[in-house]
Amino acid sequence: MSVVVITHQRVDELDRTLRLLRTLPEQPQVVVVDNGSTDGTAAMVRQQHPGVVLLEPGRNLGAVGRNLGVAHVDTPYVAFCDDDTWWEPGSLRRAADLLDAHPRLAVLTAHILVEPGRRDDPICAELRDSPLHRPAGIPGAPLLSFLAGASVLRRSAFLEAGGFSEKLWLGGEEELLASDLARAGWHMAYVDELVVHHQPSKARDAHLRRRNGIRNTLWFGWLRRPLPSAAVRTARLFRKVPKDRISLLGVLDALAGLPWVLRHRRVVPPHVEAGYRLLDDMQMRSTARRYVS
């Protein structure tokens, strides 16, 4: 097992995360991808965490930084971390055991405890209650997407699917990769006994994340869903998002990318689309998926 952490301008939070990862009984190899930080992140990693592998692409690659980390390691399984998340002792070992036991399982997403206070992240109840058909023998609740900062992936499946899209950058980037994993016959699951802690950083551009999230949600629907489903999802998203400048910019970004979308559109097979239809109503009613900033 390896752990890949992407970071940008959060030197103190990254230091805390690396100290906590260092105490794990599994002693995983840790790779940090510094997405162009200018706050002393690289120097801190070299001085305080000499056992950590540091990759410096020299610019902010967003989620694609994880692709660099996965390419650098050679372990069969890779756990992702953000600079404000860390794994519970024992969870990585249990994840490796589950992936060993289920060779068509590509992704395990963990139970997220929000710190301080160890509160359940509201998204966990939604993942736990997944309406999707559960394949025989697959642990936990079946998924058609995942939360990258709280997931362990099978490296071979990640590479086969091409990793995260450079075009999507960051913000809901998991859905497109998950779709391509499902198309290839891989399974994904939420497993409650795996635990990640998340202490949300205050150093974040919430408006940019919402803008990108709206754009990427629209792009995913247009790239992978049949036209009727894509149209319904688009209309529902328009009804749900706040009617403000940030939402408008997200929609305009998505429209500007239409030529790229049309070149790369590949509709999912019917059995995958059937799963998305089961999830559509639940996701639109979700209080854990809010387009606010």
Digit-coded pLDDT (tens) for 176-220:
999 999 999 999 999 999 999 999 998 888 999 999 999 999 999
End-to-end CA distance of the chain: 35
Is the model's pLDDT at 24 over the cut of 80? yes
User: Is the bond preceding residue 242 a cis peptide, omega within 30 degrees?
Assistant: no
152 pairs with which residues across the strands? 79, 108
Taking only the tens place, the pLDDT of each residue in 120-134 is 999 999 999 999 998
Q: 289 pLDDT exceeds 80?
A: no
Judge residue 193's burial from the number of C-beta atoms within 10 Å of its C-beta, 0-12 exposed, 13-18 middle, 19 or more buried.
Answer: middle
The pLDDT of 165-182, averaged and rounded, is 96
Q: What is the pLDDT of residue 135?
A: 87
Name the class of domain 2-198. Answer: alpha beta
So where are the chain's domains?
2-198, 206-285
Residue 39 confidence (pLDDT) above 90: yes
Q: Is the pLDDT reported for residue 49 higher than 70? A: yes
Helical H runs in the chain?
11-22, 41-48, 64-72, 91-101, 123-128, 155-161, 174-183, 206-224, 227-240, 245-256, 258-264, 270-285
